[in-house]
Chains A and B, each alone.
Chain A
Amino acid sequence: MNKGILERVDLLLIIVTLAVIVSGLIAIFSATYTSGTDYFTKQLIFAIAGIVMMIFISYIPPRHIAKASYILYFISLILLVLVLFFGKKISGSKSWFSIGSFGIQPSEFAKIATVLALANFLSKSEEGFRNINRIPDFLKACAIVLIPVALIMRQPDMGTSLVFVSMILPVLFWVGLSPFALFCILSPVIAVIGAFLGVNYFIGSLVLIGIILLIFKRNVFLSAGALVLNIIIGYSVDILYNKLMPYQQARIKAVFNPETDPLGSGYNVIQSKVAIGSGGLTGKGFLQGTQTQLKFIPEQWTDFIYCMIGEEFGFIGSVTILILYMIIILKLVSNANVTKNNFLSAACIGFASIILFHLVINVGMTIGIMPVIGIPLPMMSYGISSLISFLVMIGIGMSAYRYRNQY
């Protein structure tokens, strides 16, 4: 009997997810303690609703989810278009529909729909995954992800757009994209960063790309083409950058070096480093964080929630949270491996990479090793749309475990 439950239910994933949600609630309670807001109550209600939803979704057989995936994808595209016209503008981005006192962010649901549509596309084949090394299929797969990205960039919401882009490589890698192609996609990123840092860095990054291309020993024209493309991309970035207004340039500079913007992002990074660092080994204790309680960091129940954990629960608390997230991510990858269902396998990798990207950017930003990009910490930051969407992802991940023997 007991063994039967473990066979069907991904208990580890449930327990760890609950642990993360509870930690998040504690953090939001503390962060909003003196602010007189009702974020804690709202988050609590929607966490309970989300968990029920997660368990319900884990029971849905994969073929139903697969069948619905394209429809969900098109609905979410329509919502992303509508939000550009009817959305509410909050801190500069039109990414919300407001319903009463709640805001709904269609881009959060588009994340799930896009992963499902991509997974469905990639699994439409009799023997294993679709051959993604065929250029038409590769381009179609990319288009599935880049269409919502284009819409989200119109809002404009840079952080969320990057989340979508971040899942392309891991998923394609998982379904069999060749390492050479993988590198060809990755290398422009290196070139762009090099171009931003200066001429010497740009040349250095081009040399590095050239050497790696040689190691692959592929067709000379193909390799040379990849290199030329990188040079063009690097230069066009430079030209585009110089066409920007000074304040826009300053904003980009601040991403690479927060100290240049002490009032904006730089201020938050300095304060959040102080908050986390002052936590020490065991932290100052619940509700005792002076940095948190004195609100040196504005709205820290959203993107800067992790520094509250760091300050009040110290190194032990911070590391525990990181380990919990890693368990969720690795369990999703592991489910992707054990399931015989190609659709859910690809979907789990998509969800795992989305959670990983959120974690790396958000935590990295609060501890000062990543640029300040405003995306939430999964299931911990205050935000109803985001909370529900992550719980749905995990619910689908659980269904991959439950139905792992169904093709």
Chain B
Amino acid sequence: MDLDKKKYIIFVICLSILALFIIRLAYLQLFTSDELTKESDKNSIKTITVTPPRGIMYDRNGNILVDNKPSYTVTITPNQFDKNILEEISSVLELSADTLAMTLKNIKGTNRFNPAKVKRDVDFKVISFIAENRDRLNGVDYQVEATRFYPNNFRGSHSFGYCNEISPKQLEKQIGDYYKQGDMIGANGLESNYENHLRGVKGYKFITVDVKGREIGSLNEGRSDIAPVNGTDLILGMDRDLQELAEKLIYGKQGAIIAVDPRNGEILCFVSKPDFDLSAFSGKTDSKIFSNLLTDPQKPLFNRVIQTKYPPGSTWKMMMSLAALEAGIITTTSTISCPGSFVFGNRSFADHGAYGSINVVRALEVSANVFYYKLGLQVGIDNYHKYSKMFGFGTKTGIDIPNETSGLLPSREYFDKRYGENKWTQGLLVSLGIGQGELGVSPVQMVAYTAAIAMNGLYCQPHFVSKIKNSMNNEEEIVKYEQRRIDLPLKYYEAVKKGMYLVVNGNGTAASIKSEEIVLSGKTGTAQNSSGKNHSWFVGFAPFDDPRIAICVLGEFEGWGSSFGAPTAAALMLKYLGASVNETDPEVKSVGDNHYD
């Protein structure tokens, strides 16, 4: 075969392809053109994104904590929007014309052909105005969306968190392209942590619309549509009634309450006060409300349960006892002499009483400072750091909401860095022994530590969500969390727990909360505060023989641990365990003689 012949073969193949394409073009452009023109001119296919409702949150008994309700969102499709009606629309929506113009101007590229959400949670009368004037209001439309609804008499602000409209920065940084401008995204609390579960998966509806953007029908009778997948529901360990009481008891004060089930780390109630009204964030996010919250001197957005770093005061004494026992400095029966004060170097450290020679159980019961000043010195910084770290101090507990602090647990390196090598004295250890000084703990760390003592060393990662429930098929999946054993001899735990028992049931600092129905136990604490009134701490657990609740209460500027912390914690433990509680006033019981610290 010579090249000429091959050339003709190639020519024939090419011209056949050309002919085939021309026939196809003629079919599309000449013979079916009318239909396709009609489709193009009058009926355009539009993609409508269907955002599924976010997953619901339930409490441990199946009560709804966070729900959804329908709300109307006004949208504007920028390329169809007539600028002459900008003023009118902005006044109807109660937005400033400049803001609206800016919003529309910032929508770029192909997004100009899709409806952009300009105002959420509008009144029904706005919607009827839009519906009535649709012919005139090109590009203006509304969508029905689900917004958050909180059906209970309490807030849970810091636990549940809220959603925000996704920011341009988040849009840019996202992996993949799931989120679009105007989408809501969990910004805080559980909403943020479980965003990928709660949000579900968006669906798409393909509809045909006419030139005015009016819906004519669905494409392929909806067969091409992609159904959204509803968000996954969360089942929390929280107890609705306990949460309500906890918020009531701390109402008007500043502080934090957290209770967990010590057997598994499920959070039973979680309060940080002052807080804020989540429903202000459910739809329209008013920037004024938000900036007020930001500038409020009481810092309502600050999550006191997981972000505070206060010294724990005497609630630290169990930790010191365990460290000293394990380090071999004391035994469960050995005694230390406790006169009314302790002199180290040229400084005298005071105590609120002289107790004679006492063992560790008694030292806990009466909260003897001298006992722990001495332990602090003998345990030394290295053991102090080592054993405290075993109980989760200086590290994050791993609670399933964001922005947790790891607190401050001093170590040799820390002091060397802070004061210079060998430039700090053992005197620092004296304060550390009684839970003061440069030690910062959060209530969530404290409750996890208390629970671990209650369970003889079983340390559970505190967490809100116990199960996630697929709302499409109702299948439940148990969420796994870390549990570890802090391996100390059982008799050490028993000695420390005996001390906590006597704090309430003996002649201790919280004898005022003793209950006849249920055996409570715990420890009071007072964090010294150089800038004002002291902070009141209480940690405890109950029932003593079979712990089912461990709790930590922090009252900022509330003074002694026995004055606010103890009665509040007692009321909550009794309530959870089904005993009778005086719910109205946690501070009724008078503070007895031996109330200090």
Q: Knowing A318-B25, A367-B24 touch, does A174 contact B33 (C-beta < 8 A)?
A: no
B6 within 8 A of A: yes
Q: Is the CB of A364 within 8 A of B6?
A: no
Cβ–Cβ < 8 Å partners of B7 in chain A:
333-334, 336-337
**How far does the alpha carbon of A294 sit from the alpha carbon of B111 in the complex, in Å?**
11
B residues near A336, Cβ cutoff 8 Å: 3, 7
Cα A345 to Cα B10 with chains together (Å)? 14
A315 and B18 in contact (CB under 8 A), knowing A36-B108, A174-B6, A277-B33?
Answer: no
B40 touches A262 (CB 8 A): no
Provide the bound-state CA to CA distance between A330 and B16, in Å.
13
Q: Report the separation of the CA atoms of residues A404 and B30 in the bound assembly, to the nearest whole angstrom.
A: 43
Contact status of A295 and B33, CB under 8 A, knowing A173-B6, A262-B206: no
A294-B79, A329-B14 known; A315 vs B36 contact (CB < 8 Å):
no
The smallest beta-carbon distance between B178 and chain A, in angstroms, is 13
Asked if A322 contacts B36 (CB within 8 A), the reply is no
Query: Cβ of A228 < 8 Å from any Cβ of B?
Result: no
Contact at B22–A319, with CB atoms within 8 Å?
yes
Among the stretches A80-88, A114-122, A231-239, A266-274, the one at the interface with B is A266-274
Q: Which of these, B6, B14, B35, contacts A356 with CB under 8 Å?
A: B14
A280→B30 contact, CB < 8 A: yes
Main secondary structure, interface of B, reads: helix
> B39 touching A323 by the CB < 8 A rule?
no
Residue B426 at the chain A interface, CB threshold 8 Å: no
Say yes or no for B37: interface residue by CB 8 A criterion.
yes
CB neighbours (8 Å) of B3 from chain A are: 174, 336-337, 345
Interface check A93, CB cutoff 8 A: no
Q: Chain A's nearest CB lies how many Å from the CB of B267?
A: 38
| A contacts with B, residue count (CB < 8 A) | 52
Task: Report how far A246 CA is from B113 CA in the complex, Å.
Answer: 32
Decide yes or no whether B81 CB sits under 8 A from chain A: no
- Contact residues of B between 1 and 47, Cβ < 8 Å to A: 1, 3-4, 6-7, 10-11, 14-15, 17-18, 21-22, 24-26, 28-30, 32-33, 35-37, 39-41, 44-45, 47
Q: Residues of A contacting B112 with CB < 8 Å?
A: 34, 295
For the complex, is A310 an interface residue (Cβ under 8 Å from B)?
yes
B149 interface hit (Cβ, 8 Å): no
Residues of chain B contacted by A250 (CB below 8 angstroms): none
Count chain B CB atoms within 10 A of each CB in A35, A174, A277, A364 and give the residue with the most: A277
Among B10, B15, B30, B45, residue most surrounded by chain A Cβ atoms (within 10 Å): B10
- One digit per residue, 1 when the CB lies within 8 angstroms of any chain A CB and 0 when it does not, for chain B 208-227 equals 00000000000110001010
Q: With A and B bound together, what is the CA distance between A319 and B108 in angstroms?
A: 34
Cα A35 to Cα B36 in complex, Å, equals 25
A103 within 8 A of partner (CB): no
Q: How far is the CA of A337 from the CA of B9 in the complex (A)?
A: 12
B113 and A294 contacting across the interface, CB-CB below 8 Å: yes
Contacts of A333 in B (CB 8 A): 7, 10-11, 14
Chain B contacts for A279, CB-based, 8 A:
29, 33
Whether A385 is near chain B, meaning CB under 8 Å from some CB there, is no
| Structural contact, B30 and A281, CB atoms closer than 8 A | yes
A36 in contact with B109 given A274-B36, A278-B40, A296-B45 (CB within 8 Å): yes
Residues on the B chain within 8 Å of A173, using CB: 6
- Tell me the chain A residues, 246-285 only, with Cβ under 8 Å from chain B: 259, 262-263, 267, 270-271, 273-281
A239 to chain B: closest CB distance in Å? Answer: 30
Question: With an 8 A cutoff between CB atoms, is B110 at the interface?
Answer: yes
Contact call A278/B109, Cβ cutoff below 8 A: no
Inter-chain contact B14/A277, CB cutoff 8 Å:
no
Nearest Cβ distance between residue A344 and chain B, in whole angstroms?
13
A314 within 8 A of B: yes
Given contacts A271-B45, A290-B41, A369-B24, contact A315 B29 (CB under 8 A): yes
Interface centre among B25, B41, B113, B204 (most CB of A within 10 A): B25
Rounded to whole angstroms, the CA-CA distance of A202 and B355 in the bound complex is 96
Contact call A276/B25, Cβ cutoff below 8 A: yes
Shortest C-beta distance, B13 to chain A (Å), equals: 9
B305 to chain A, nearest CB (A): 42
Q: Which residue of A lies closest to B3 (CB)?
A: A337
Contact B25 A263 (CB under 8 A): no
Q: Does A30 contact B (CB under 8 A)?
A: no
Q: Please tell me which one of the listed residues B22, B37, B204 contacts residue A263 in the complex, with CB atoms under 8 A apart.
A: B204
Question: Does A326 touch B at the CB level, under 8 Å?
Answer: yes
Indicate whether A363 reaches chain B with its CB closer than 8 angstroms.
yes
Most chain A C-beta atoms within 10 Å of own C-beta, residue among B22, B40, B112: B40
Q: Complex Cα distance A273/B37, Å?
A: 11
Chain B residues contacting A34 (CB-CB under 8 Å) are 79, 112
- Does A262 contact B11, Cβ atoms closer than 8 Å? no
Q: A263-B204, A337-B3, A360-B17 are in contact. Are A367 and B113 (CB under 8 A)?
A: no
Q: Does any Cβ of B come within 8 Å of A374's Cβ?
A: no
Contact indicator B110/A315 (Cβ below 8 Å): no
Contact A277 B108 (CB under 8 A): no
- Note all chain B residues with C-beta closer than 8 A to A368: 24
Q: How far is the CB of A354 from chain B (nearest CB, A)?
A: 14
- With A263-B226, A333-B10, A360-B17 in contact, is A280–B37 under 8 Å at CB? yes
Question: Can you list 27 A-B pairs with a CB-CB distance of less than 8 A?
Answer: A34-B112, A36-B108, A173-B6, A259-B224, A270-B45, A271-B45, A274-B39, A276-B28, A276-B29, A277-B29, A277-B40, A279-B29, A281-B29, A290-B41, A290-B44, A291-B44, A294-B113, A295-B109, A295-B112, A310-B29, A315-B25, A315-B29, A323-B18, A326-B14, A329-B14, A330-B11, A337-B4
Query: Which B positions have Cβ atoms within 8 angstroms of A?
Result: 1, 3-4, 6-7, 10-11, 14-15, 17-18, 21-22, 24-26, 28-30, 32-33, 35-37, 39-41, 44-45, 47, 79, 108-110, 112-113, 204, 206, 219-220, 224, 226
A262-B220, A294-B113, A318-B25 known; 5 new pairs, CB 8 Å cut-off, are A274-B40, A276-B25, A278-B39, A280-B29, A295-B110
